C-alpha cells in the first residue's frame, strides 16, 4: 500500500472526512476541481474494495501539496466499502490509491463573470462540487449552488459551504417540499452559461432531459452520477428499445438502467454494480463496452448489464426491451 490515512474527521449526515498522504512523505499529485481518486483498501474479513471518491477542499496551486481529502457517507446498502471505511479504517491505516482522475471539463474558472454558473448537488453528490465552489469563490466568480437532499440529516459538509461571499446557496429538502422542479431550477440557457451536477442517476438523468428541453447545449451541462463514473471516452448514448418502440438518450455518467427506468421501462435489477446479472439485457445491434464482473464471455456476446456498461462509438445500442 502506497498511502496512509493521516486524519479522520466526523461530520453530520453519517459522513466522515479522511485525509490521505503518501507513506514516504512526498507531495501528492496535483488535481483540478471536480477530480476524484480510486481508493484501494481491504476489510478485516479479506474483502477488497476499489471505490471512487471525489476530492474535497481547495484544489492545490503550483505549490507542493501533501494530502488528499475525501468525504465518505456511510451507506448501509452499498457494496460495503463505506461501512468498512467508517468502521474499520483508522488513522495510520495503509491504503492504495490511483489517480487523480477528472471527468468534468477543466475550464470551470475560465468562465466570463457575466455568464451564469450553476452547481447542482444531490445528497453526497456535493463532494465534487465543493472543490468547484471553492475555486469559483477564490476567483470572485459568482455562482448558484442548489443542494437537493431528502431531509436535513442528509445534508453533508454544510459548514464548508457557508461563508462563501460569491455563492448563492439554495437548499431543497424533498420530504418537506416534494421533488424539485428541475426545469425551473435550470432555467433557460444564456450564452456562456454552464451547469455542473452530481447526484443519484435518476436525478442526473432528469436534469439532462430538462436541459435538453430548455435548449441547453450538451457542452454546457455536465453531469456525473453515483456508481457510474463516466470514462473519458464515453459520449452521449442513444438506446433504442425494439419491443417498447421508444428511444432513450443517455448522458455520460448516467447508468443506462437509470435512464430506462426514468423513461418508464420495466427492467429487472438488483445490485446496480455489475455484480449480480439481474439487469442483463439482450443486445440486438451495437457494440457494448462491458464493465460488469459477473457475465460469462458467451453472455457478453449476446447482451450486457445495463447498470454499469456502455457502448463504443458511435454510441448507439438496440436492446431487446
Nearest by Cα to 38 from 20, 53, 17, 22: 53
The span from the CA of 159 to the CA of 17, in Å, is: 13
CATH assignment of 237-319, among 3.40.50.261, 3.10.20.30, 3.30.365.10, 3.50.50.100:
3.10.20.30
- In the structure grid, which three cell numbers stand for residue 260, read together? 430506462
Q: What is the pLDDT of residue 113?
A: 66
Same fold, 3-101 and 237-319: no
Q: Where are the domains of the chain?
A: 3-101, 108-225, 237-319
CATH code 3.40.50.80 for 108-225: yes
Mean pLDDT lowest among 18-27, 62-71, 151-160, 187-196: 62-71
218 — pLDDT class (breaks 50, 70, 90) = confident
Share of the chain above pLDDT 90, in %: 42
109 — pLDDT class (breaks 50, 70, 90) = low
CATH code 3.40.630.30 for 3-101: no
Q: What is the pLDDT of residues 131-174, one digit of tens each?
A: 999 999 988 889 999 999 888 888 888 888 888 999 999 999 98
All residues at 6 or more sequence positions from 79 whose CB lies less than 8 Å from its CB, including other chains: 49, 51, 271, 273, 275
Amino acid at each position: 500500500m502506497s498511502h496512509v490515512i493521516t486524519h479522520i474527521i466526523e461530520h453530520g449526515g453519517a459522513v466522515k472526512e479522511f485525509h490521505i498522504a503518501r507513506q514516504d512523505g512526498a507531495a501528492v499529485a496535483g488535481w483540478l476541481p471536480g477530480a476524484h481518486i480510486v481508493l484501494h483498501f481491504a476489510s478485516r474479513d479479506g474483502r477488497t474494495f476499489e471505490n471512487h471518491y471525489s476530492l474535497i477542499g481547495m484544489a492545490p496551486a503550483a505549490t507542493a501539496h501533501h494530502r488528499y481529502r475525501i468525504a465518505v457517507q456511510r451507506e448501509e446498502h452499498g457494496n460495503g466499502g463505506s461501512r468498512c471505511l467508517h468502521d474499520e479504517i483508522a488513522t495510520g491505516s495503509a491504503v492504495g490509491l490511483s489517480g487523480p482522475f477528472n471527468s468534468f471539463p477543466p475550464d470551470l474558472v475560465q468562465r466570463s463573470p457575466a455568464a451564469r454558473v450553476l452547481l447542482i448537488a444531490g445528497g453526497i453528490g456535493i463532494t465534487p462540487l465543493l472543490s468547484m465552489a471553492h475555486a469559483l469563490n477564490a476567483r470572485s466568480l459568482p455562482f448558484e449552488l442548489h443542494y437537493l437532499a431528502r431531509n436535513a440529516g442528509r445534508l453533508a459538509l454544510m459548514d464548508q459551504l457557508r461563508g462563501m461571499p460569491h455563492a448563492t446557496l439554495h437548499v431543497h429538502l424533498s420530504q418537506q417540499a416534494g421533488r424539485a422542479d428541475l426545469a425551473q431550477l435550470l432555467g433557460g440557457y444564456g450564452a456562456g452559461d454552464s451547469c455542473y451536477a452530481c447526484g443519484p442517476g435518476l436525478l442526473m438523468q432528469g436534469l439532462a432531459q430538462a436541459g435538453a428541453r430548455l435548449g441547453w447545449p450538451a457542452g454546457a451541462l455536465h453531469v456525473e452520477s453515483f456508481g457510474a463514473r463516466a470514462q473519458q471516452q464515453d459520449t452521449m448514448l442513444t438506446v433504442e428499445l425494439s419491443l417498447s418502440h421508444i428511444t432513450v438518450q443517455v448522458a455520460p455518467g448516467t447508468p443506462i438502467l437509470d435512464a430506462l427506468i426514468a423513461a418508464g421501462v420495466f427492467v429487472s435489477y438488483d445490485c446496480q454494480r455489475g455484480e449480480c446479472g439481474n439487469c442483463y439485457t439482450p443486445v440486438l445491434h451495437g457494440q457494448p463496452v462491458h464493465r460488469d464482473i459477473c457475465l460469462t464471455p458467451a453472455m457478453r456476446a449476446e447482451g450486457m448489464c445495463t447498470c454499469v456498461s456502455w457502448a463504443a462509438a458511435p454510441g448507439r445500442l438496440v436492446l431487446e426491451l
